[in-house]
Amino acid sequence: MSDYIQRLKDIVTDFDIDNAQAVAKEAIESGVDPVAAAAALTDAIRQVGDAFGKGDLFLPDLVCASEVLKKAFPVINEAIEKSGRKQASLGKVVIGTVFGDIHSIGKGMVATLLYAAGFKVIDLGINVKGDDFLKAVKEENADVLAMSALLTTTAMEQKKVIQGLKDAGLRDRVKVIVGGSPINQEFADSIGADAYGATAPEGVKVIKRLLGIE
């Protein structure tokens, strides 16, 4: 079974998208503990994320590793659910790309890395209206709201959502982190966000810091 644990790690570090789902299925069918399988995938994506942060890997590598997780994790999660066991969660994160913006790669990578790190992730997708962010934060009792904007013209949507949180009496209940190519720390401060993440791995670290996890 240890061979399958290593194979699960290898599909991530080798960016083996084509075989990701098959290896996950084989591991579960061979009797590998699904929680241990999830941990193997998590360890591997952390390794990739750390290498990306150090400059040893590049954006396409991180994107490919994220795609591997998207293929493998559903198989593992289904097995965990069938077993009746639950994975410990570090907290709930609502994430999405703001209204008017259809870019998904950056947001998707952050969502994948958060999931791998142990967070429950509610991914609202792209082109998300402010009211939908507010609804998700309230209904999920989210710990963090993460918003991405890849266009200068949509960056101010982040400010509108934060104001919406204030108007709805939700602002004090949730930490807000923003990111995207036109976003910087100065802009994040100016719109009242709690934090800014320049890259996907950094975003995960910042969210952990906001929640006092690291």
| Opening angle at CA 184, ends 192 and 65, nearest 5 | 110
Contact 95, 64 (CB under 8 A): no
pLDDT at 118: 80
Superfamily assignment of 92-210 in CATH?
Cobalamin-binding domain (3.40.50.280)
Q: Which pLDDT tens digit goes with each residue over 156-184?
A: 999 999 999 999 999 999 999 999 888 99
Q: Which pLDDT tens digit goes with each residue over 129-153?
A: 999 999 999 999 999 999 999 988 8
Which pairs with CB-CB distance under 8 Å and at least 24 residues apart come from 163-172? 164/130, 164/131, 164/133, 164/134, 165/134, 165/137, 168/134, 168/138, 170/134, 170/137, 170/138
pLDDT at 167: 97
Instruction: Indicate the fold that domain 2-83 takes in CATH.
Output: 1.10.1240
pLDDT at 189: 96
Q: Where are the domains of the chain?
A: 2-83, 92-210
% of the chain beyond a pLDDT of 70: 97
Is the entire prediction scored with pTM above 0.75? Answer: yes
**Domains 2-83 and 92-210 agree in fold:** no
